[in-house]
A and B are shown apart, each in its own frame.
Chain A
Amino acid sequence: MNSFKNIKVILSFLTLLFIASPSVQSAEECFEGTSRAIFKFNMALDDIILEPLAKGYNKLPSPIRTGTSNFTSNIGTLLSIPNNILQGEFKQLGHSVGSFAINTTVGILGIFNPAEKIGLKPHKEDVGQTLGSYGIGPGCYFVLPILGPTTARDSIGLLADTFIDPFAHVTLREKELFGASGNTLDYYSVKATGVVDFRADNDKNFQSLEKNSIDLYSSLKSIYLQDRENKIKNSIEDEDEWGDLNN
């Protein structure tokens, strides 16, 4: 039974790898109908749970929101460290390690962000971005329940993140690292707080997008894909797609 489970996991992984192969550069839809249905479900979940939470969160005093945002962001830096190594980005590695060390100690467990004041600004990196930096295209685009928009490459990355993220190692796998320990609840609490913080930060933007989109699903897809492209390149490139309109 166990080996059957393993085969299923390997097969799913190989299928995803196939659809995220380097030859597939643009993110085409794989199962648009299903994705749109999941999107509707996610939006309902957002209306019932996430949006009220985000609105409540936005009513908290600004120092509490900033502290919470700094705290989750500091833990997120841990995932960037192995990815900086995998990408060979050693300058960024210095920023990530330095920022985490300073903010965790001087910044009191990451509640404050003194590292930024001395010029340490680590880029957030994950396995999806690392695969992208190796030239692997996004593969097909789809929407996951609760987790939202993704691509074949990024969903593999999402899974791989939990294997190389030191925070997941300590919490999800309950292994001790440099004397730190934790449990699964810690992992999901920090991730959920990060989601609420992000949703609260973008509440007005989201409302405006919802109000002004003719097809919200497509707008969010475009925004997700543009954001991932920029994160992989670590820059904002203006691709001149205006063609004959430039004449």
Chain B
Amino acid sequence: MKKVSIYFISFFLFLQTTQLHAYSANPKDFISELVNEAISKLSNKDLDKNQKADFIEQLALEYVDINALGLYTLGELRKSSDENDINNYQESFEKYFLKSLTSRLSDYSSSKFEVVDQEKKSSKYTIVSSKVTPIDGSPEIKIDWRVYTKNPEKPLIRDLIVEGLSLARTQKEEFASILSSNDNDIKVLISKLDEFVKN
């Protein structure tokens, strides 16, 4: 009976740590709720590194437009590559993105997050402005979120612009450099992404 209870409690705790809440459809509220929940999970000392990484991965898979981000970072090559190569690239890119994201957030230190404003650029996307104030007294960081709102009920994050530096653009230019030094061979890029995931 004791064993059953432990399993039950463990299962319940697992659900607690992995379950994602539904967030508001309004981009400003969506970002505020999502990031504040992520901060609360990442600073929760009862969760280990793997549980935190699982949570971040699920969050990203659900609320980041990884598919569009992958195509964007591929640049013009997305128009000339064949479907099979694009599918292989997308598969590798997703793994690369998730690994890179969880790695970046693994050394997270507590910060205060606040959404400042939102600007609707078109019916398809909105820029949400926010600021992060680290509690260790480091300078405040401005972060703009590019939120894709084609489906108004299900906003998706496409880019983070940290102090004016677009993470998507940086990634795109990094990939462009790899491609240009390898005769625009998408297979080389895919193998570099796979290599990163393996290491």
**Stretch from A132-140, A184-192, A236-244 forming part of the interface with B:** A236-244
Query: Chain A 204-230 against B: per-residue CB contact (8 Å), 1 yes, 0 no?
Result: 100010011111011101110011001
B178 contacts the other chain (Cβ, under 8 Å)?
A: yes
With the chains together, A46 CA to B125 CA distance in Å? 40
Name which residue of chain B comes closest to A241, CB basis. Answer: B169
Name which residue of chain A comes closest to B176, CB basis. Answer: A218
With the chains together, A214 CA to B174 CA distance in Å? 8
Total A-B pairs, Cβ < 8 A: 70
A51 contacts the other chain (Cβ, under 8 Å)?
A: no
Task: Tell me which residues across on chain A come within 8 A of B177, comparing CB atoms.
Answer: 215, 217-218, 221
Q: Which of A208, A214, A236, A241 has the most CB of B within 10 A?
A: A214
Whether A214 contacts B192 by the Cβ 8 Å rule is yes
Whether B169 contacts A240 by the Cβ 8 Å rule is no
A2 contacts the other chain (Cβ, under 8 Å)?
A: no
CB distance from A225 to the nearest CB of B (A): 8
A62 contacts the other chain (Cβ, under 8 Å)?
A: yes
A245 contacts the other chain (Cβ, under 8 Å)?
A: yes
A246 contacts the other chain (Cβ, under 8 Å)?
A: yes
With the chains together, A129 CA to B158 CA distance in Å? 30
Given contacts A201-B139, A215-B177, A236-B164, whether A245 and B170 have CB atoms under 8 Å apart is no
Whether B72 contacts A245 by the Cβ 8 Å rule is yes
With the chains together, A185 CA to B122 CA distance in Å? 54
Whether B170 contacts A223 by the Cβ 8 Å rule is yes
Whether A219 contacts B103 by the Cβ 8 Å rule is no
Quick one: which of A211, A222, A238, A245 contacts B71, CB cutoff 8 A? A245
Whether B165 contacts A211 by the Cβ 8 Å rule is no
With the chains together, A217 CA to B27 CA distance in Å? 34
Task: Tell me which residues across on chain B come within 8 A of A245, comparing CB atoms.
Answer: 68, 71-72
Query: Chain B 2-43 against A: per-residue CB contact (8 Å), 1 yes, 0 no?
Result: 000000000000000000000000000000000000000000
With the chains together, A217 CA to B192 CA distance in Å? 15
B193 contacts the other chain (Cβ, under 8 Å)?
A: yes
With the chains together, A223 CA to B172 CA distance in Å? 12
Task: Tell me which residues across on chain B come within 8 A of A208, comparing CB atoms.
Answer: 103-104, 107
Whether A214 contacts B173 by the Cβ 8 Å rule is no
* Contacts of B97-131 to chain A: CB distance below 8 A: 100, 103-104, 107, 121-122, 124-125, 127
Whether A221 contacts B173 by the Cβ 8 Å rule is yes
Given contacts A214-B174, A219-B174, whether A246 and B125 have CB atoms under 8 Å apart is yes
Whether B107 contacts A204 by the Cβ 8 Å rule is yes
With the chains together, A201 CA to B86 CA distance in Å? 39
CB distance from A113 to the nearest CB of B (A): 12
Whether B178 contacts A226 by the Cβ 8 Å rule is no
B146 contacts the other chain (Cβ, under 8 Å)?
A: yes
B184 contacts the other chain (Cβ, under 8 Å)?
A: no
Quick one: which of B122, B125, B148, B196 contacts A214, CB cutoff 8 A? B196
Task: Tell me which residues across on chain A come within 8 A of B104, comparing CB atoms.
Answer: 208, 212
Task: Tell me which residues across on chain A come within 8 A of B144, comparing CB atoms.
Answer: 236, 238
Whether B127 contacts A238 by the Cβ 8 Å rule is yes
Whether B146 contacts A214 by the Cβ 8 Å rule is no
B166 contacts the other chain (Cβ, under 8 Å)?
A: yes
Whether B100 contacts A212 by the Cβ 8 Å rule is yes
Whether A240 contacts B121 by the Cβ 8 Å rule is yes
Task: Tell me which residues across on chain A come within 8 A of B125, comparing CB atoms.
Answer: 246
CB distance from A1 to the nearest CB of B (A): 43
B60 contacts the other chain (Cβ, under 8 Å)?
A: no
Whether B173 contacts A238 by the Cβ 8 Å rule is no
What are 14 pairs between A and B in contact, CB < 8 Å?
A66-B137, A208-B104, A212-B100, A223-B165, A226-B164, A226-B165, A227-B164, A227-B165, A230-B164, A238-B127, A238-B146, A241-B169, A242-B68, A246-B148
Report which B residues bind A (CB closer than 8 A). Answer: 68, 71-72, 100, 103-104, 107, 121-122, 124-125, 127, 137-139, 142, 144, 146, 148, 158, 161, 164-166, 169-170, 173-178, 192-193, 196
Interface pairs A-B: 10 shortest CB-CB: A218-B177, A222-B173, A230-B164, A236-B164, A218-B174, A222-B170, A212-B100, A219-B174, A246-B124, A226-B165
